[in-house]
Amino acid sequence: MSADVTSRSRRAGGGETLRGSRKPRADAQRNRDGLLEAAKAAFAEVGPEASLDEIARRARVGIGTLYRHFPTRDAIVEAVYRREVQQLADAAPRLADSLPPAEALRAWMGVFIDYIAAKKVIAPALKSLVGGGSALYADSGARINEAIALLVERARASGDIRPSADSADLLRALIGFAYVNSAPDWEASARRLIDLLIDGLRSQGGEK
């Protein structure tokens, strides 16, 4: 066989190898997602002391698979939190594209309540992060502020809410009534308060 033919054969074989490697990457992503879901559930049901073995068992993977994705306990705790923030941030443009401005803001606030509920579950585990997770919180805070600012600006520009509405004020209100209320029905209460908040912003007829 000539060198040229051999070279072409190797290139073809390499192409097959690359194509064949796509499925493991998809499987790896599914494993990673499953581990994050399992970790979140374990922290909720067992507590911050939930073991990595327990998380792997819930995800139906071996402990070696867990360590390939998350080499330390801090890594999986941080990844669970980052995913919650990512979902919250991603919801803003998605809702902005699919709902009227004020309704998009209302819907995002509902997603924020889901985020707070998830954060409460993993908060004890987050406390164990090296350095207290200060950089992690700073990054997540910036992303959340950007998300609500996008929706508030859009609602102000459309006239759906009064022009004096401030995204930072709304975020503080959300955090306040989500964290202060520790009763079993705090989520339902928080969602009712969202409705009151949006209705109050809309009712200022004198501010156009």
Q: Which of 170, 166, 151, 168 is nearest to 207 (CA)?
A: 166
97, two tokens: 């594209």
pLDDT digits (tens, 9 = 90+) for 11-58: 444 433 334 444 557 888 899 999 999 999 999 898 888 999 999 999
Are residues 59 and 37 in contact, defined by beta-carbon separation less than 8 angstroms?
A: yes
Domains in the chain: ranges and CATH: 1-71 (1.10.10.60), 73-208 (1.10.357.10)
pLDDT digits (tens, 9 = 90+) for 120-141: 888 888 887 755 556 788 889 9
Give 52-106 as a DSSP string: HHHHHHHHTS-HHHHHHH-SSHHHHHHHHHHHHHHHHHHHHHHHHHHS-HHHHHH
pLDDT digits (tens, 9 = 90+) for 50-80: 999 999 999 999 999 999 999 988 899 999 9
